[in-house]
């Protein structure tokens, strides 16, 4: 499995080039039956909750697809906290204009809940714009509630 479906800040091609320099973006698509949400928050001592996705019939998540080189996959697992148990990998079907593709995603290990900081949400919005997400999807992200960062 070499395809990775990025849905959060990894939607940003520049960010992914920094993490995975041998792994090109190969397209975009949608994960049907899932939605973007947030989790973690105060549980892990972060300023706010982090992005994850959960199953949700009738919803969908915009993703950027990357063809990930095996060496880059190890780096990405480390960055995403797989070895620390923060996120886990799942395989999902991604609908693209060329047909369905199987890809892995990272989902938060724990329960949904919490709000992101305004800064974190702005990073997600920017990443979605950089990946070419539709304007209505970007606006839906932008309108999410946020919390104040801890002083």
Place of tokens 């994960």: 31
The domain ranges of the chain are 3-125
* C-alpha of 151 from chain center: 27
**Mean of per-residue pLDDT scores for the chain:** 91
Numbered residues of the known binding site: 4-9, 120
Look at residue 63 and tell me whether its pLDDT is greater than 70. Answer: yes
pTM of the model: 0.92
Look at residue 45 and tell me whether its pLDDT is greater than 60. Answer: no
Catalytic residue among 71, 80, 123, 129: 80
Using N-to-C axis directions, what is the helix angle for 135-142 and 118-131, rounded to 10°?
170
Q: Under a CB-based contact definition with an 8 Å cutoff, are residues 113 and 97 in contact?
A: no
Q: Which CATH architecture has domain 3-125?
A: Roll (3.10)
Question: Six-digit token pair at 8?
Answer: 């959060």
Numbered residues of the known binding site for substrate: 4-9, 120
Q: What is the pLDDT of residues 95-149, one digit of tens each?
A: 999 999 999 999 999 888 889 989 999 999 999 999 999 999 999 999 999 987 5
């Amino acid at each position: 499995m070499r395809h990775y479906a990025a849905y959060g800040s990894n939607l940003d091609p520049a960010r992914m080039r920094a993490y995975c320099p041998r792994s090109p973006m190969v397209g975009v698509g949608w994960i049907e039956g899932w939605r973007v949400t947030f989790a973690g928050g105060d549980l892990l001592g972060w300023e706010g909750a982090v992005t994850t996705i959960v199953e949700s019939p009738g919803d969908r998540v915009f993703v950027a697809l990357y063809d990930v080189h095996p060496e880059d996959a190890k780096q990405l697992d480390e960055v995403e906290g797989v070895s620390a148990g923060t996120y886990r990998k799942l395989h999902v079907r991604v609908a693209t204009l060329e047909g369905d593709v199987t890809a892995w995603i990272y989902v938060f290990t724990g329960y949904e809940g919490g709000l992101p900081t305004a800064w974190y949400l702005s990073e997600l919005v920017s990443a979605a714009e950089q990946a070419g997400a539709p304007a209505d999807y970007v606006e839906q992200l932008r309108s999410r509630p946020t919390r104040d960062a801890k002083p």
